[in-house]
Amino acid sequence: MHGDVDTRRAINDDIEDLTKVYAKSYGSIEQAGKHVRDFIENHGGRLAVVDGRLVGVLFWMQRETASHGQAEIVDLWVEESERRRGIGQTLLKESIREIEDHYLSQGQTLKVMLLFTTEGNSPARMLYEKMGFQVAANLGDLTGLGDKDILYTYSPAQRSENEKS
């Protein structure tokens, strides 16, 4: 049985737990800690927690200056046993609101969000497309790891237009 899901903004006290999660893919506690600290101290992040256990994370960052109105979703991850419960979608929805507020608080407007994923990552692509993200560019295998990179974009103004029609 799955416990209830809580989501909230990532704070300094989460650095240790997040570092443990990232160390699994980075293979280095030091590198993982650097990445996590950078996002919490300089950018933005939301977490999902079940029974006190960290089960999901989304990191985002402002691109250029606030007047450009561009933000990037840099990481989105949900623990395997907790997938398909709506956690990824909740983190994404709440982060979009958080990012819009981030721009408004500086007298600016979020114009476009972007993110990169790969052609073979069907779960992520289904989620992004469900949320209204659109393929902006097929980039080819940029990293040489055998999967093609894709750039997705999302415009809140476009979402409002869709909601009107």
Ligand X SMILES: CC(C)(COP(=O)(O)OP(=O)(O)OC[C@H]1O[C@@H](n2cnc3c(N)ncnc32)[C@H](O)[C@@H]1OP(=O)(O)O)[C@@H](O)C(=O)NCCC(=O)NCCS
Nearest distance, CB of residue 109 and ligand X, angstroms: 25
Which residues are paired to 78 by β-bridges? 56
7 binds ligand X (CB under 6 A): no
Distance separating alpha carbons of residues 127 and 149, to the nearest angstrom: 16
- Count of other CB atoms within 10 angstroms of residue 75: 15
Q: Determine the interface stretch with ligand X among 9-17, 23-31, 93-101, 124-132 (rule: CB under 6 A).
A: 124-132
Which residues are paired to 63 by β-bridges? 70
120 binds ligand X (CB under 6 A): no
Nearest distance, CB of residue 89 and ligand X, angstroms: 3
152 binds ligand X (CB under 6 A): no
93 binds ligand X (CB under 6 A): no
Residue 17's closest CA among 36, 34, 35, 42?
36
Of 11, 104, 126, 157, the one binding ligand X by CB under 6 A: 126
- Which residue has its beta carbon closest to ligand X? 88
Q: Determine the interface stretch with ligand X among 5-13, 26-34, 80-88, 99-107 (rule: CB under 6 A).
A: 80-88
CA angle, residues 115, 152, 71, in degrees to nearest 5: 40
φ/ψ bin of 144: left (φ > 0), alpha (ψ from -120 to 50), beta (otherwise): left
Q: Determine the interface stretch with ligand X among 3-11, 30-38, 63-71, 119-127 (rule: CB under 6 A).
A: 119-127
- Count of other CB atoms within 10 angstroms of residue 111: 14
Residues forming the site for ligand X (CB under 6 A): 76-78, 83-89, 117, 121-124, 126-127, 130
